[in-house]
């Protein structure tokens, strides 16, 4: 059975950093292969994982639409085929597999840019099926989602076992986290468990007013990640965050959370 872990949160709270630490923990502590899906159009997950990214699913989608336009002129798209006789589904599956960035213990698919003008319903449906089919070959799928949850159903039809809502330790951050958590009930997929993670907490201690807000949130606090200047050093040097040492307080905090929900 594939275990799917999705991360969500407003922009700038450190979702991608947490995603990298989750993947690091899985690679070091759990058996089985890992697929990372970067569902944020900015496509930064490859940088923190130290993987080269040649192209994205968004590029594939746009290229296919151009192929469809060409095929329409030739009378082929109406039959469901592209130039050369290849079916749209087979074309997408080949291209998505070719776009995989492969690491030693994990692979990465980046969704890339958003949709331009035109109808994307059919191609998005096929892409979702292709990515779901690919995901079944992995023990873990980690989805670094964009700021909200609105598009998660368009990325996968798979149930999400663990939704990690990441927030910074501010009242505004918690309000955004609550809105995101509420959206899970409107998705076409089933979210089995949802948790809150507070990131960049100075000294690892919460302000009393913030603790009171947590009680009203209705989302269990999985854990707190301390603020750590070492992350800035990695960012400025360009080193992938996946190379953070096991002694890093950021990694130790995330590893403890993952051990709690997986073991």
All structural domains of the chain with their residue ranges: 3-52+102-112+137-262
CATH architecture of 3-52+102-112+137-262: 3-Layer(aba) Sandwich (3.40)
pLDDT tens column, 215-235: 788 899 999 999 999 998 998
Give the pLDDT confidence score for residue 221 in this predicted structure. 94
pLDDT tens column, 77-97: 544 566 667 788 888 899 999
Query: What is the average pLDDT value for the chain, to the nearest integer?
Result: 85
User: 29 or 69: which carries more pLDDT confidence?
Assistant: 29
**Which DSSP state fits 14?**
-
- The Cα 75–Cα 117 span in angstroms is 22
| Terminal Cα distance for the chain, rounded | 15
- The Cα 161–Cα 193 span in angstroms is 6
Tokens of 231: 């992350």
Which residue is it, tokens 């009393």? 208
pLDDT tens column, 120-163: 566 777 888 888 899 999 999 999 987 766 666 665 656 899 99
pLDDT exceeds cutoff 90 at 100: yes
Which stretches of the chain are DSSP H helices? Answer: 15-29, 45-49, 57-74, 88-98, 121-135, 152-155, 171-183, 208-217, 230-237, 249-262
- The Cα 190–Cα 158 span in angstroms is 8
User: 105 or 40: which carries more pLDDT confidence?
Assistant: 105
The DSSP-derived string for 222-249 is EEEEE--THHHHHHHHT--GGG--TT-H
pLDDT exceeds cutoff 90 at 209: no
Give the pLDDT confidence score for residue 152 in this predicted structure. 67
Give the pLDDT confidence score for residue 74 in this predicted structure. 56
| Mean pLDDT for the stretch of residues 198-222 | 84
H, E, C per residue of 108-130: EEECCCCCCCCCCHHHHHHHHHH
Q: What percent of the chain has pLDDT over 90?
A: 46
């Amino acid at each position: 059975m594939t275990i799917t872990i999705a991360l969500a949160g407003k922009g700038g709270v450190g979702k991608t950093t947490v995603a990298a630490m989750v993947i690091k923990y899985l690679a070091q502590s759990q058996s089985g292969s890992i697929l990372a899906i970067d569902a944020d159009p900015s496509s930064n997950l490859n940088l923190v994982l130290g993987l080269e990214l040649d192209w994205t699913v968004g590029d594939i989608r746009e290229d296919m639409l151009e192929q469809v336009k060409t095929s329409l002129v030739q009378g082929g798209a109406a039959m469901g085929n592209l130039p050369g006789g290849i079916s749209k589904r087979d074309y997408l599956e080949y291209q998505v597999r070719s776009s995989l960035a492969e690491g030693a213990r994990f692979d990465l698919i980046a969704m890339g840019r958003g949709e331009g003008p035109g109808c994307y319903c059919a191609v998005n449906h096929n892409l979702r099926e292709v990515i779901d089919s690919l995901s079944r070959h992995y023990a873990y799928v980690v989805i670094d989602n964009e700021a909200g949850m609105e598009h998660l159903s368009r990325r996968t039809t798979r149930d999400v076992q663990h939704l990690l809502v990441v927030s910074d330790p501010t009242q505004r951050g918690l309000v955004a986290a609550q809105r995101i958590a509420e959206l899970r009930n409107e998705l076409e997929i089933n979210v089995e468990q949802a948790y809150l993670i507070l990131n960049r907490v100075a000294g690892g201690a919460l302000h009393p007013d913030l603790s009171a807000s947590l009680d009203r949130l209705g989302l269990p606090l999985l854990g707190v990640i301390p603020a750590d200047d070492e992350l800035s050093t990695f960012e400025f040097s360009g080193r992938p965050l996946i190379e953070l040492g096991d002694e890093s307080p950021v990694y130790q905090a995330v590893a403890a959370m993952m051990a709690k929900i997986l073991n």
